[in-house]
Structure 1
Amino acid sequence: MDAAAGPPAGREIATLEDFDRTALTGSFAGYRVQAVDLTDRTFALLVSDTSRAVFLGCPMEPQALAHVRAGGALVFPPLPDLPFDPYRGSLYTPEELYAGLADGGSYEDTPDARTSRWFRRTATDGDVLASMLRSVHDHALRDALDERLRRQRVVGVMGGHAMERGGASYAGAARLGRALARRGFTVATGGGPGAMEAVNFGAYAAPHDEVMFGKALAVLAAAPPFGASVGAWTRTALAVRERWPQGGPSYGMPTWWYGQEPTNAFATHVAKLFAVAAREDGLLSRCSAGVVFLPGAAGTVQAVFDAATANHYGTRGEPAPMVLVDRAHWTRVLPAWPLLQSLAAGRAMARRVALVDGVADVPHTLEQLADA
């Protein structure tokens, strides 16, 4: 098998446990081993067939490294000077991105901030290595996301980053996330602030009672906005998570491209990417149970018509439900709804689009559209 052709199905290893199970067979031939520390697995490597294997960012002892290369493996070495691991085999967590912040550290010293600075330095210099590393990283994250979301009913919620904590709109978006999670949907957002944070917070609060929900909203409202201090804004969210642990899961897909939009700490699984196009299309394409569009500006409007284009042409198969929230916003402020109706006319997508007055109407409407 040509190494460039890809591994056989099921031959990707991203944890030490998977490595140890495979080692019992005596062969890693054709496997892809991704970001696993193998410094304590020298014997297993020395006695195994590693032909046509690919090791991506796996630390190993010199003897093992020489053996696997001699055995026909392709080795991409770890790059310790980078502020991120381009070969990682799992999604980020907020605690990982913001390491040290909850203990009083500066946001500028977190892995998230250091990666953002690296991206700013390399994004426009044309360096082919930096471009390759960004691409490998983003592919690894999308692959990890697909593995997590397989067979789940994923509902994406799109909305603007300008929505502030403490307002009625923020509380409404949070109630939407909570209601969707309680109905068994897997909630996914762009992973940023504003409406995105509110929805992820609502999903996090889903296992908790109404008292927690109200108190946590009040705690969040007392913090400065992210534009004034990303550190204080994030630290408050981490404090809410510490005070009320064991929240519900949800997903975020933010990007370092939008440096002004920090990642919210309530998306428990984070696929943070470098490429903004991969983020926009990647999120919509994974929303198997539909997409909800809260009031927003240009970015949300773009997402509406990105989803509409796929539904219009059927490029992702059966049209996914689309629910626009707030009649006044989508018919008068930014009148996307009339155009969406025109695009849908005479198409299969016509039975899968809806406009509702408020977030309370969304869960039931999504289920109706799915059955249409």
Structure 2
Amino acid sequence: MHAVVVGGGIGGLSAAVGLHRVGWTVTVLEQAPEFGDVGAGISLWPNALRCLDELGIDLTQHLAPQRDGGFRDKHGRRVTRFDAAAFERLHGRPLGAIHRKDLIAALKNAVPAESLRTNTTVTEVREDGRVRFAGGELQADVVVAADGINSPARRALFPDHPAPVHSGSTAFRGVTKFPGARLSTSFDRGTEIGVLPLTGDDVYWFVSYVTRPGSELPDLHQTTRDWHDPIPALIEATPEEAVLHHDLYYLATPLKTYVKGRVALLGDAAHAMPPFLGQGGCQAIEDAIVLAHELSTKDPQQALEAYDRQRRPRSQKVVRESVRMGKLTSQLANPVAVKVRTALLKALPAKATVYIGREITGWQPPRLPRPDPPRTP
């Protein structure tokens, strides 16, 4: 059986790894000159780490477990503490952070080199499994459309479905060297700033502001200079050309199905969400392992239907929760509401914070078939 994966990001490569593991021939079509990702980090919650374990992806050298830290106000006053030890006891995995390029590399290395094609722009994806691209076409038993939030495949298969909408926020992100930084998430009116240590003294930081699409961008250095250490220093240490900026969009109108004919939408193509729960990439990895599992146990059409039944309700619920979390955290701008939120968080015991979102992060992946052990002569 042959699967064509359109898109070589985290979701597409995770799908390729899973399908290869269960015995499918896979071709990954990526339009960029090489497999990689923008220069930022990503948080990997226990649900995603369990999936990566099942896929056989070893991130030991690159994953940074998040230890001491917590929520703070802009002046650095502690609001509540993140109890990392209690979190790991509850979930069996830590909260991890990794550079996106390292995660992409680990996934890419688990797929046969001959399965990977770069510089390949897909021009058509059809329900019958035919994929056309500049210079050729392929016929697949299953097509995995993992081509991002503005998915051309989704637009072609569901032409009447509304486009992604602006979440109400814009974000800056970067990675820089900064020894000794600790995990923190800090809030002020309409602003959230996160700091996640990576390996090798790298630090991933992000800043989100409430704004309208197309409005004048806030001056990052000016608006963060009176925040607590090490936030101003982190941003100053990041070269201007390494700072990423994106308005944050999401798929506000849920799709009625993730499947059309032989095509399965996956990741942002199916359920793009705002980043306020840190679950966008995690949900794409979940999609991938469920799809691989179903295709290892059923004929393709039954497998795609089962994939849709399982993934659509859960991932769309996570989208709704992400939107809700944004309104309660980084997008909260009313000064009275901000004070009430801070008071409520301060009253919350540190050990209680590890239960927040457990329904999402506690998800367990299905088991994939294990490769046969080598025979002894």
User: After TM superposition, is the score higher than 0.5?
Assistant: no
- Choose between structure 1 and 2: higher strand proportion: 2
Normalising TM by the smaller chain, what interval? under 0.3
What is the TM-score normalised by the length of structure 1? 0.24
Larger Rg: 1
- Choose between structure 1 and 2: higher helix proportion: 1
* Larger RCO (alpha carbons 8 Å, 6+ apart): 2
What is the TM-score normalised by the length of structure 2? 0.24
